[in-house]
Amino acid sequence: MPDHAAVKDNRWLYPFRNTLLHPRLWHLNRHSAAGGVAAGLFCGLFPAPFQMLGAAICAIIFRINLPIAILTTLYTNPVTFVPLYIFAFWIGSQLVGDGSTFVPPPEFDITAVGAWLKASIAWLGHLGLPLVVGVALLATVFAVLGYVGMRLAWRFYLIRKLTRRKERRAAKYDIRK
């Protein structure tokens, strides 16, 4: 995790210095961690170049932990992205109810790039509404589950820590020893 000096002295980040140095973006507590996980899980289903940027924007807007939000987007990768999008399409087609079925993308042909591009655009148009609805719903469910899961994990950790502290104090002041 970069320190404040690295962000402050970076010439590319200079215009955003005041925003990026806000203490709540770098502080770690149960609220910021849970919000960071939720933002990262939600933005992780964005198309590839916009995942981390979306998570960073969400972190800045909602003042949640920036590094956690960015790192949580990494649950999507070349191995998991396609199954998640197929599942999202299935969810969307069930909700939209237009009877859409998943059709594999057109195969790339180096001799006919124009035809391939036209077929790819038609393929994306076919996926359209069911895919958008499915991705939005799946991202929302992931974000809610991540938020609740992180809050529960943090609470479990604190209860366990307090219980151990009580046990240590009880053992320290136990007169029967």
What are the residue ranges spanned by the domains of the chain? 4-172
Residue 13 is predicted with a pLDDT of: 65
pLDDT over 90 for what percent of the chain? 46
Residue 2, pLDDT score: 60
pLDDT for the residue numbered 140 = 97
User: Residue 68: which pLDDT band, with cuts at 50, 70 and 90?
Assistant: very high
Distances (CA, A) of 138 to 1, 51, 58, 128: 29, 15, 18, 16
**Global confidence as pTM:** 0.76
SS3 173: coil
pLDDT: which is higher, 175 or 74: 74
Q: Give pLDDT tens digits for 103-122.
A: 777 787 778 888 888 887 88
Q: What is the mean pLDDT of the chain?
A: 85
The structure tokens 């599942």 sit at 87
Distance CA 71, CA 69 (A): 6
Rounded CA-CA distance 56/46 in Å is 13
